[in-house]
Amino acid sequence: MTRFFHNLRRDQRGSYVVEWAFLALPLTLLLMSSIEFGFQAYANARMQGVLRQVSRLSGTGRIVGDTSSCAVPDSCTDAEVKEAMRAFVARELDDLMDVEVAIDVRSYSEFADVGDPELIERAEENVDVTGPPANGDCWIEVNNNDSWDADIGLTGTGNSEDVVLFELQVSYDRIFALTGSLTGSEKAVLSSNTTIRNEPYGTVATIPKKRICLDPYTGAMTITQID
């Protein structure tokens, strides 16, 4: 019996199985993560390319919907154009698994206006503030909706020579369920944005500016047209 245990202790056959058991999990996770991140880099590159394509089509006024009510650009509503863009992106990225697409499009007069709020004039402090406005404040209304906005952009692709911001978010199922469990999300989410100026394909639209002031006591609005 003593000889048996002595020989068993010296026997190295099969030891690699134990070593592999320790290495298998981290190596497998490393391989799966490499594949997952590689595919994510591919998906991100595809998304960037499709976003540039959509913005170029929009910038020339060529985005149209698939329905007869939106046969030419001038007949499209903002909602129809946005849906046409979303459907186009989804078709171009159909090689991703269970892809979901969300797109937001806003137009501005100038590049410097992108993401900016309507500036508030606070007379008591003799300073300009970013909002929201209080009673006694005034602001320059630039998007013609007669209310203060934290973002002066208008929904939609705008008009000829407008600046347009495209924000795209794409989500798709991860290749491996295990990597989804480790990251806490079964879907990978990618986002990107780009800004362009529309080509002069039509008449340049101008929106009249107004100064809107709130009564210091009642908050009632007084609107003054600015030339």
What does the pLDDT read at residue 174? 87
Q: How many domains does the chain have?
A: 1
Pairwise CA distance, residues 185 & 85, whole Å: 26
Q: For residue 209, is it within any domain?
A: yes
Q: Are 88 and 101 in contact (CB under 8 A)?
A: no
What does the pLDDT read at residue 156? 85
Tokens of 86: 């979303």
Q: For residue 2, is it within any domain?
A: no
What does the pLDDT read at residue 224? 86
What does the pLDDT read at residue 68? 45
- By CB atoms closer than 10 A (0-12, 13-18, 19+), residue 109 is buried
Q: For residue 215, is it within any domain?
A: yes
Residue 24's domain comprises 15-226
DSSP 102-158: EEEEEEESSGGGTTPPPPEEETTTTEEE-S---TT-EEEE-SSSSS--SS-PEES--
Q: For residue 6, is it within any domain?
A: no
Q: For residue 120, is it within any domain?
A: yes
Overall pTM surpassing 0.85 (yes/no): no
Mean pLDDT on 80-106: 88
pLDDT tens readout for residues 23-79: 878 888 888 888 988 999 999 999 999 999 888 877 776 665 544 455 555 567 778
Q: For residue 166, is it within any domain?
A: yes
Q: Are 199 and 209 in contact (CB under 8 A)?
A: no
Q: For residue 3, is it within any domain?
A: no
Q: For residue 9, is it within any domain?
A: no
